[in-house]
Amino acid sequence: MGRIAIAATLVAAVALAGCQSRGANETMGGLLGAAGGGLLGSQVGSGSGKLAATALGVLAGALIGSEVGRTMDDVDRMKHAQAANSAFESAPTGTSSTWNNPDTGHYGSVTPTRTYQQTDGTYCREFTQTIDVGGRTEQGYGTACRQDDGSWKIVS
């Protein structure tokens, strides 16, 4: 469950980055990177070694994530949001919706991995995403559900 929460935080923050100012993107990127780095670090070693690896992963992830958040511009965020919306709305499971910004060289993809309907009738899609900014690749996982107005919202 911890991995899912960390991954969901990463995805939600990147998805919401388009609504944030440049400084907030850096902060969110740092938080997301820290979560991802902590997750990766927690997979190494055991006992106190595992704790140290997790701490180092958090620090390294925060630095990398801050840079990714700082480096993505408004066009990057807009193109990412468009690809995510397209993936959630109409891409078949396993088919990626990609984006790229030729001005910055940044690119990424969003891939639905599972589609289901909740008991209240709400449609949801689990997905993976990849964002490459300046040669640094960040990956995330999450779930988006269609809202009453037809828009998609990251829920985990």
Please state whether 105 falls in left (phi above 0), alpha (psi between -120 and 50) or beta.
left
Look-up of token digits 């511009």? 73
User: Is the pLDDT assigned to residue 60 strictly greater than 90?
Assistant: no
Helix ranges (DSSP H) in 47-122: 47-71, 74-90
Q: What is the extent of the structural domain holding 153?
A: 1-156
What does the chain come to in residues?
Answer: 156
The count of domains in the chain is 1
pTM above 0.85, yes or no: no
Instruction: Express each pLDDT in 93-137 by its tens digit.
Output: 999 999 999 999 999 999 999 999 999 999 999 999 999 988 889
Instruction: Express each pLDDT in 64-73 by its tens digit.
Output: 555 555 567 8
